[in-house]
A = this chain, B = another copy of it.
Amino acid sequence: MSNEKLAIVAGVGPGLSSSIATAFSKAGYKVGGLARREENLSNLANSLGADNFKGVKTDLTSPEEVASAVAELEEAYGPTAVYVHNATSLLVKPFLDISADEFEMTWRSAVMTAFNGAQSVLPGLVERGEGAFLITGATAAVRGGANFSGFASAKFALRGLAQSLARQFGPQGVHVAHVVIDGVIWGASAKRFGVDREKCMEPDDIAQVYLNLAHQPKSCWTHEMDIRPSTENF
């Protein structure tokens, strides 16, 4: 695999996104990370090495900031091959306790961020007739549970966007996929809540799913797949 390929991970934090960045780095990609918190980016730069990873502090809800961050990464590493949308902000609350602002911010964090990423990288992917746009979904993307009204509404919205992008851009050679993560990902908050690691999803295992999707040949693309731990009730 060429060293020239750029994989952008939007929404870098200590959990899944770091594993995804690492998996693409190991597979020979140059990786660009977008996040609001510098710390998340610098941790990853330390771990992957400054030659292989470049973080750009970005407010993903801003169209201009995302466009400029993508331009900066492509300047450094060449055209984007893979864009992973991994931004979201969980909201679990009875409906009547959710303020209009919270409801909107939940949507903005998960969906407007994806819109901005897609607007920034799709023109190039279409021009080159290749590349992948991978989107992190959740159980709440396919089932609106009680107390999940804000989060489910946002994750449903993201899934609808993903489907439309796949149908519009697939025939132009751009692979859009939506991963329904149906389980708790092992990490700091799983630990904090005392969830048993055996019942969790390993972020490195999930990252492998993204890498496989990015490498599917054009004759055989997945638009949607679910993943969960063997122990998960579904």
Contact = CB atoms under 8 A, between A and B. Distances in A.
Interface of A: 63, 94-96, 100, 103-104, 107, 111-112, 115-116, 118-119, 122-123, 126, 140-141, 143-149, 152-171, 173, 175, 186, 200-202, 205-206, 208-209, 212, 216-234
A126 B212 CA distance: 28
Contacts of A107: 107, 111, 157
Interface of A is mostly: helix
A222 B225 contact: yes
A112 B106 CA distance: 12
A119 B103 CA distance: 11
A221 B229 contact: yes
Nearest to A208: B220
Contacts of A158: 153
B153 A157 contact: yes
B234 A219 contact: no
A180 B202 CA distance: 26
Given A164-B95, A234-B167, A224 B223 contact: no
Nearest to A149: B164
Most buried by B among A116, A156, A173, A227: A156
A148 B164 contact: yes
B122 A100 contact: no
Contacts of A201: 219-220
A164 B153 contact: yes
Given A100-B112, A170-B232, A202-B220, 12 more contacts: A111-B153, A144-B159, A144-B160, A144-B161, A144-B163, A144-B167, A146-B167, A147-B164, A152-B161, A153-B157, A170-B230, A200-B219
